[in-house]
Amino acid sequence: MAKVTTEQKIQTAFLQMLKSTRYDQIKVSQLAKAAGISRGTFYTYYDSIYDLLSDVENSLFNELPQMTVPIGNLADSQKIHDLLIVKLTHIQQHFPTLKLLMGPNGDPYFQYQLGRFFLPMAQEYEHALTHPNNSIELALLNEATNGARMSIIHWWIYHPDAISIDELADFLRRFIQQIMVLSQKEDVKKS
């Protein structure tokens, strides 16, 4: 059996406390007691609760699959679907932690940060389809698409049995493609 490290104890206690307490209301003394360590031991690993929160979030982001695809393959619906499956599977494996971080006691900025993990693929895809002349419009399109996508993923985290990963990947792929088609129609109107 693997030995639980002090750092793991701290992170586990922190996530348990997020079930009932806002992250910015958690006191180091409370967390240390819940983890079965001293305050001094906490400070050996972290400077503050915010440092701990950042470490928990960053460890999730660092584990997320970073995948790039040649631009020519981005128009291939199956390639996009397959990439989404990999990313959504990783998200599903971390539902308990994500639910806490995206919940009412978690970091309100976390959902936006999580959206950034989809962004490189989405931006490449959007560039491949639209070739927009206006970088402001592309930035707005990215933000709108990302916001909607993250709202959908947030909903999925709270309704995990309502839709399969395959169905969600297909829906997100079609959603992104439809946004791009709308964008292309606007580009044609301007020409």
Of 118, 126, 121, 60, the residue nearest 94 (C-alpha): 60
- For residue 100, which amino acid is it? L
Task: Indicate if 99 and 71 belong to the same structural domain.
Answer: yes
Residue 98: pLDDT band (50, 70, 90) is: very high
**123 compared with 162, residue with greater pLDDT:** 162
Task: Indicate if 39 and 116 belong to the same structural domain.
Answer: no
**pLDDT on residue 188:** 45
Q: Report how far residue 126's alpha carbon sits from residue 182's, in angstroms, rounded to the nearest whole number.
A: 11
Task: Indicate if 102 and 27 belong to the same structural domain.
Answer: no
For residues 121 and 159, the answer to whether their CB atoms sit within 8 Å is no
pLDDT tops 80 at residue 150: yes
Q: Is residue 1 part of a domain?
A: no
**Average of per-residue pLDDT values in the chain:** 83
Structural domain harbouring 125: 66-190
Domain count, the chain: 2
The average pLDDT across 33-58 equals 97
pLDDT tops 70 at residue 125: no
The average pLDDT across 79-94 equals 89
Of 99, 22, 90, the residue nearest 62 (C-alpha): 90
The average pLDDT across 18-46 equals 97
Counting every residue written for the chain, the total comes to 191
The three-point CA angle 68-73-78 to 5° equals 95
Task: Indicate if 121 and 51 belong to the same structural domain.
Answer: no
**pLDDT on residue 99:** 94
Task: Indicate if 15 and 90 belong to the same structural domain.
Answer: no
Task: Indicate if 105 and 171 belong to the same structural domain.
Answer: yes
**pLDDT on residue 93:** 94
